Structure 1
Amino acid sequence: MDEIWIYIFLIVAGFGSGFIDSVVGGGGVISTPALLSIGLPPQIALGTNKLASSMGSLTSTLTFLRSGKVNLRLTAKLFPLSFTGSACGVFLVHFLPSQLLRPLILILLVAVTIYTLLRKKWGAASHFRGLTGKTCMWFLPLVLAIGFYDGFLGAGTGSFLIFSFLMLGFDFIHSAGNAKVLNFGSNIAALITFAALGYVNYRMGAIMAAALIAGSWCGAKVAIKSGSSYVRILFLAVTTLLIGKNIVDYLTWLTR
């Protein structure tokens, strides 16, 4: 592939990834395979993707913040958990094969999708009244675990974060806004760690980041304008896509 076509390919993939990722996460399903397809080694593809996705998640985070769709007091407290978990996850990439987690992730994605489908009015309105001691016991470790997962594997992080905020009583649009703040935390932590390990191609990452920023801005604007029902539909579509991808990846690993 000629260099100019590689850049065009990365721009198109980056925009599509940013658009989806800004709303419900899952943009890595597009951007990471795109980087792998141009010949980057897996670790460098993951690190380069984090450079691009960090810029995209920052853009969508700022867009949601300006629209008032983020609980800033809550997300500010949770941000360090997402950041720390992600950094730990990146370090474990060196020691554990990601395939060990794939069956668990597949089961969780299926459960999330079925639960959301069955609860048709879930996330239509916000009922969050604050964290209690009881919710802290399960929610804080969950945020840390999702941050860890983002550093280790990544695909579906946004979906898991949105689902977590829905469980707290937020509507879909506020869940998406809150999720983007924490997703930015896990992305930037992973980027710093990957960069320290030398796993970032800055030229490719910068090209994809520019496209991701544009896609993230457009996606967040559409989500805010269209409301919770649109986010719910996209959430179900992306989690279904993630389920299919994880099935293919797991079957490929089993047949090696």
Structure 2
Amino acid sequence: MKLLILCPAGFLAALVDSIAGGGGLISVPAYLLAGIPPHVTLGTNKFSSTAASFTSSLKFARSGKINFNIMKYLAPLTLVGAVLGVTSVLKVDQSFLYSLVLILILCVGVYSFFSKSIGMEDKFKGTSRKTILLGMILALALGFYDGFFGPGTGSFLIFGLISIYGFDFVKASGNAKFLNFISNITSLLLFAAHGQINYILGIPVAIFMIFGARLGTVMAINKGSKLIKPIFITMSLGVAVKMLYQMIF
């Protein structure tokens, strides 16, 4: 019975997430609705979503939408950040981050909504020491953030990569998904080590999420920035609304 809720929700979450991020807005509440304890929800969702992010990353890579010359600098920093984030979250209260992240994610969504040009054209003109350094800082910070807290990571990555490298939404989504996969699998291994994954539910949901990720990635590549931008804005503002709701109630 639980899988009747979780599998369709997982498919939809992966489809949306592979396009513009924010799939956790769908999958995490679905696990909680099915009566899964919060810590096991986070671990099991990380298990199934890692399978989806791997599928999406592979599809983006095969389509030439991931710049591995940049990723070879950024990916290791994302991994280190995720380890530090997961380690820190066991010792530090997350609540102080809510107000800051809420403001930032609202700014990202609103700015993207009103800026007609952002991410609509690929303006990448190569790298410099400055852009590599800025990218490494972004990767480390958001790897830490994803391991420590998480909401809006995909939105922040896409926005950051567009701002630093001039990518369009398609390339930004592809590179963001690759970095997200690195932080996901790092966090997954730590959740698994603490026994916080329900594999009986996680494996079927992961299969549905793989199919959702494949479809979403194909849609993103074929439809381009005109499809990704409105979904990106919607999911960014959706994360903000969810966080605001949690702060109030």
Superposition TM-score, scaled by structure 1 size: 0.93
Deviations 1:172-209 (A, max 9, x none): 10000110110000000000111111211111111211
Instruction: Report if the CA contact (8 A) 1:27-1:155 is conserved.
Output: no
How many angstroms does 1:237 deviate by? 0.9
1:35-74, Cα deviation, whole Å (9 max, x unpaired): 1222222221111111011000000001111111111221
Matches within 5 A, 1:70-219: 70-167=66-163, 168-219=165-216
Q: CA deviation at 1:139?
A: 2.8
Separation of aligned partners in 1, 2:37 and 2:83: 20
Give SS of 2:95's match: helix
Aligned equivalents of 2:87 and 2:39: distance in 1?
Answer: 11
Matches within 5 A, 1:12-51: 12-51=8-47
Equivalent position of 2:248 in the other structure: 251
Q: What is the rounded CA distance, in whole Å, between the counterparts of 1:97 and 1:208 in structure 2?
A: 30
Q: Could you tell me which runs of 5 or more consecutive residues in structure 2 were left unpaired when the two chains were aligned.
A: none
**For the residues of structure 1 that align with 2:40 and 2:147, how far apart are their CA atoms?**
13
Deviations 1:73-128 (A, max 9, x none): 21132111111211221222222232221111101101111221232011111122
Give the aligned residue type for 2:242.
Answer: K
Q: CA deviation at 1:226?
A: 0.5
> Which of structure 1's runs of 4+ aligned residues deviate more than 6 A?
none
3-state DSSP of counterpart to 2:65: coil
User: Could you tell me whether the CA contact under 8 Å between 2:83 and 2:144 is conserved in 1?
Assistant: yes
Indicate yes or no: 2:221 matched with 1:224: yes
Amino acid across the alignment from 2:18: S
Residue 17 (structure 2) pairs with residue 11 (structure 1):
no
Identical columns (%): 42
Query: CA RMSD of the aligned region, Å?
Result: 1.3
Name the aligned partner's letter for residue 93 of structure 2. Answer: P
Q: Unpaired runs of 5+ in structure 1?
A: none
Q: Conserved in 1, the CA contact under 8 Å of 2:44 and 2:199? A: yes
How many pairs align? Answer: 248
Q: Structure 1 counterpart of 2:46, which letter?
A: K
